[in-house]
Amino acid sequence: MMKRLILSFFLLLSLSLQAQTEKRDSLMNDNIEADSLTSVRPSAFKRAIKKFMNFSDFDTLYISPNRYNYALMATHFSNFENYSVSSDLPQPQKLSFSPNPHNKIGLYFGWRWIFLGWSVDVDDIYRKTNRKNKGTEFDLSLYSSKLGVDIFYRRTGNNYKIHKIRGFYDEIPSNYSENFNGLKVDIKGLNLYYIFNNRKFSYPAAFSQSTNQRRNAGTFIAGFSISKHNLDFDYEELPEYIQEKMNPGMKVNKIKYTNANISFGYAYNWVFARNCLACISLTPAIAYKASDVDAETHEGKQWYSKFNLDFLIRAGIVYNNGKYFVGSSFVGKNYNYHRNNFSLDNGFGTLQVYAGFNFHLRKEYRKKK
């Protein structure tokens, strides 16, 4: 009896082990088949990411690629700034400030869609400038077929002029101008945007010459931006006759705010002649501003007043025959800050004029000997 039980036990054990082995082999085979299927056909998420990151996916009837690896470009930059401080009570008043435009010249070397180079301030070449009054500007824009990125930093110097005044004295002319050393501004930020009609519309054709637009095309653009703004406003540096009539709401010493916005706009490329392209783009944005204000008057601030409207504009015109190119472009940003009885509008932009040529054909375009 005991032998039968032992024999039955070993028989069951062997059958169980055999079943487990067969099950394990079956699972391994299933896993191998699944792995092979996965390797053959990636997941939908991976396919979507791969398609999204494919920046060469465009319609060749509308866009032609750059056939060269490298480029050399000479360029001239002009940077513009404008700041306006205003108040409505007890009477509408406005002061506008701007420095003289900064002009720079430089030489840049390009690889595909990336340009690196060096520029110098023209004022440093022709005349000595006070280092304390000099500002710092940094603008980097990267254009691809689907995505665009703007990185900017701007710190101003004490070289402003009051160029417009309203609501103070009737005898002050509208073209009033006087030096003002009481304004310092520090701005840094990042813009990121997506181009919807990326197979037919090309930002790089208008702004980085890494492609050529062959037919007219437009596109919607959506993006996100975040920036930090610091402004020191020493109103005691203003002329005494302006201080005497100045609204209390304008007597702001320091403003710090973080600007986060969501933008949606439209851009259009117009091919008006062979190898000639004009581009215009306007992107309004709904912005939320979290602020810290040091002022003589401390007023409450409703939640809805933290939302403002900002703008980003791009424009360009270029001639590009594939080998040589010449053109001009402008990128401008406008930010608005408002509280109960105080408003700050600041805008800055860069105008670029450039000329250059491409060289060293890519391997796929070289003629076979």
CA distance 285 to 123: 35
Is there a contact between 317 and 353 (Cβ–Cβ < 8 Å)? no
Range in 35-44, 183-192, 196-205, 323-332 with the lowest mean pLDDT: 35-44
Residues in CB range of 138: below 8 A, 6 or more apart: 151, 152, 153, 154
Which pLDDT does position 55 carry in this prediction? 57
Global confidence as pTM? 0.80
- What fold characterizes domain 65-365? Lipocalin (2.40.128)
Between 270 and 81, where is the model more confident?
270
pLDDT value, residue 11: 38
Sorted by where each begins, the domain ranges of the chain are: 2-41, 65-365
pLDDT top residue among 369 and 307: 307
Contact predicate 314/329, CB 8 Å: yes
Q: How confident is the model at residue 21, as a pLDDT?
A: 42
Reported confidence tier of residue 354, pLDDT bands at 50, 70, 90: very high
**Closest C-alpha among 94, 72, 91, 69 to residue 82:** 94
Q: How far apart are CA 186 and CA 366, in angstroms?
A: 49
Residue 54 has pLDDT above 80, yes or no: no
